Structure 1
Amino acid sequence: MKMTELDTPSLLIDREIMMDNIRRMQLYADQYDVHLRPHTKTHKMPALAKLQEDAGAKGITVAKVGEAEVMAENGLNDIFIANEIVGEVKLNRVKKLAETINISFGVDSIEQCEMIEDVFSDSHKPAQVLIEIEVGENRSGVIEESDYIRLVDYIKNCSHVKLKGIFSHDGHTYKAKDLEDCRRLYNEAQKRTLRFAQLAEEQGCKLETVSIGSTPPLLHDFGVMEGITELRVGTYILMDVSQGNAIGSYSTCAASVLTTVISKPTNERVITDVGAKGLTMQTRSEGICATTGIGYIKNSDQVHIDQLFDEHAIIYNEEFRNQIAIGEKLEIIPNHICPVCNLYDYAYLVSEGEVVEEISILGRGKLQ
């Protein structure tokens, strides 16, 4: 069917744009002779993860154990959980996955590793862990070198925990004031990550993996420093308004939400049938990824969603209101695609306006 025949709201993915995005990032990783391990929390679809691996990705990244389980059930067998996994229930689930696939996950404290050592004490395979390094985002990860050295030394003496590597996330680059600031933050994050890799080596631990990643710097050719072994990047496959703003174009935005105009109650107000439950209310307030409104009307002259209710999107634009009719369908490019994918059961792969495949979002709601 034609995509305009779909009921709304519907999540659309332009096949050609998506495949171009997949190939472009893989070529970037290949150029610098590093592995690409895409973060699939962006799309939560095993079918898309397989396309990324088919293009050359070494494995995939997920954010939650539930996402790892879904991906493993659907044939993905090299998975890194880029998060601290804490608690007996979750660690036992990881231990079960480790029986059949290559799986690793993040740590940043001795207390966490004590739990892992205990849970994996009866496993024939040690838990594979990567230490997270805090590089400026002010989130999780080791900050002080002294704490890091103590953690490395503790893991060295564990019988059931193996230190595979380290990882960092330079998410603060989203707030870079311009591209030069983005380059600076990215390079500082790389240098800090490599410093911690050196510290591990000084403690007698040669790391297999030194992993970095966030989308904004990797949309530009800022390079990859020697010693980095892996790029862990997610949003690039579908892109969104914030990432489009980082490169000054929405031409690589593969995902959009199809919505129907249901009301034009005033001379300037337009109402469509997707609200916060299908678009989220996320915005970005500063830097190269700063957004206007709560979503961009695709192929419009800077028309944005001004307001969202649970089931309604509101646009205030008299000129736009006079150009469209009730019943007409619009495409909205979301500000942040990752949480949007988590709101739908299916995505529709489209090519030149035709629906070519319905893809189940099997990782939807896998938050545990």
Structure 2
Amino acid sequence: MMNDIQVDTPALLIDRKILKQNITSMQEYADRKGVNLRPHTKTHKMPKLAKMQMEAGAAGITVAKVGEAEVMAEAGIRDIFIANQIIGRSKVGRIRKLSESVSISFGVDSIYSVKEIDEVFEGADEKANVMIEIEVGEKRSGIIQPDDFTALLDEIKNSRNVSFKGVFSHDGHTYKAQTTDELKELYDDSSARTLHFAGLARNHGMECEVVSIGSTPPFVLGFDIPEGITEIRPGTYILMDGSQANVLGHNDTCAATILTTIISKPTDERVITDVGAKGITQQHRKVGLTATKGLGKVVGFDDVHVDSVFDEHAIIYDKNFSDEVEIGEKVEIIMNHICPVSNLYEKAYIVENGEVVDEAAVSARGKLQ
């Protein structure tokens, strides 16, 4: 299925109808389950899309970096959670500055961090609001041992300028589940572990205002949310991608694609397009429901994938595909992982019925600090 949208390629496209459906569907799910939705905007890094999520009913947004928080705050969003450990006095100082105009909280998992925050926030009008991250199986950051958790609670309690807001976790290891049943088991275990630590905090005299969990697969599959969870933080759901689409078994919710031009056909089966690693990345998932074939799916063609990429070239080997396309024609590719792809583009073109109807600046791209 060739595309005649008149924009230079490679370009990031967003289908407006699917975008709105995805936003509405997740908000309705959160509302039915009685929890707040705080979408992770690192997926798109676009204030325009974040505002759409807020207008649909989101309680606030999640970001990964202080720089992303600054961009979103400048755009007028007033409730932000940085789901990450922020280490470094200069970064903590920037959060202190943000706290003067927005409601902002951020993650901790060490006494070192709390001590640093306490020092930087000395004399501030408001205390720093922190959430303790709980490691639930992803083998990334977060508290693992209960003793370390209570020691961290004590450090916060004894500080002058740090306030405990709650706990959060990320069950990213659910992406590797081989079946939906296994995915649910991992999700249930992660939720239970998060709630267990919330209970430890309560027993320690420090009630959790927020108990936050998040990753896209359990929520697009409609899993129940255990009592005691107050907030969910999915990110990818708004645009989706090849790996998340594999969980559902279809591409119908994929709002984002890369528009790319056929620039060469060196052999009967080799087709070259103008998007390389700098526009699509080399990411793929190797195991589980989210496992991907190749480096991106070509829209409208059965089982045609990007086989490899150079910096500026995508390589596709498929004789039937080659027979159907000509140099100069454009095709769309569903990327394997949308979050890093968004970071590669200055703007996205919002399209409807084959025409560009709007644009969205990727204002938080490159905000890694």
Report if TM-score (shorter chain) is over 0.5.
yes
**1:218-269 CA distances to partner (integer Å, 9 max, x unpaired)?**
1112100000000011000000000000110011000000000011110110
SS of the residue 2:41 aligns to? coil
Residue number in structure 2 paired with 1:74: 75
Letter in 2 for 1:53: M
Letter in 1 for 2:48: A
Correspondence 1:152 to 2:159: no
- Residues 162-241 of structure 1 mapped to structure 2, 5 A cutoff: 162-241=163-242
CA distance in 1, matches of 2:189, 2:141: 17
Letter in 1 for 2:297: Y
The Cα of 1:3 is off from its aligned counterpart by 5.9
Give yes or no for contact 1:243–1:289 (8 Å, CA) kept in 2. Answer: yes
Give yes or no for contact 2:156–2:162 (8 Å, CA) kept in 1. Answer: yes
Residue number in structure 1 paired with 2:143: 142
CA distance in 2, matches of 1:321, 1:215: 35
Give yes or no for contact 1:275–1:311 (8 Å, CA) kept in 2. Answer: yes
Residue number in structure 2 paired with 1:17: 18
Residue number in structure 1 paired with 2:299: 298
Letter in 1 for 2:201: A
CA distance in 1, matches of 2:116, 2:192: 31
CA distance in 2, matches of 1:12, 1:163: 41
CA distance in 2, matches of 1:222, 1:361: 31
Give yes or no for contact 1:3–1:350 (8 Å, CA) kept in 2. Answer: no
CA distance in 2, matches of 1:34, 1:120: 31
Residue number in structure 2 paired with 1:349: 350
SS of the residue 1:139 aligns to? coil
Give yes or no for contact 2:245–2:254 (8 Å, CA) kept in 1. Answer: yes
**1:285-332 CA distances to partner (integer Å, 9 max, x unpaired)?**
000000000000012101000010000000000111001111110000
CA distance in 2, matches of 1:209, 1:358: 35
**1:128-172 CA distances to partner (integer Å, 9 max, x unpaired)?**
000000000000000001100111111111110000010000000
Task: Give 5+ residue unaligned stretches, structure 1.
Answer: none
Residue number in structure 2 paired with 1:110: 111
CA distance in 2, matches of 1:218, 1:136: 18
Identity %: 59
Residue number in structure 2 paired with 1:49: 50
CA distance in 1, matches of 2:81, 2:55: 18
Provide runs of 4+ in structure 1 moved above 2 Å: none
CA distance in 2, matches of 1:300, 1:5: 21
Give yes or no for contact 1:62–1:68 (8 Å, CA) kept in 2. Answer: yes
SS of the residue 1:72 aligns to? helix
CA distance in 1, matches of 2:48, 2:81: 18
The Cα of 1:190 is off from its aligned counterpart by 0.3
SS of the residue 1:116 aligns to? helix
Aligned residue-pair number: 367
Give yes or no for contact 1:37–1:59 (8 Å, CA) kept in 2. Answer: yes
Letter in 1 for 2:301: S
Residue number in structure 1 paired with 2:122: 121
Give yes or no for contact 2:109–2:133 (8 Å, CA) kept in 1. Answer: yes
The Cα of 1:5 is off from its aligned counterpart by 1.0
Give yes or no for contact 2:96–2:121 (8 Å, CA) kept in 1. Answer: yes
CA distance in 2, matches of 1:300, 1:178: 26
TM-score by length of 1: 0.99
Give yes or no for contact 1:291–1:335 (8 Å, CA) kept in 2. Answer: yes
Give yes or no for contact 1:3–1:355 (8 Å, CA) kept in 2. Answer: no
Residues 1:347 and 1:32: Cα distance change in structure 2 (over 3 Å): same
Give yes or no for contact 2:175–2:217 (8 Å, CA) kept in 1. Answer: yes
Letter in 2 for 1:41: K
Give yes or no for contact 1:211–1:228 (8 Å, CA) kept in 2. Answer: yes
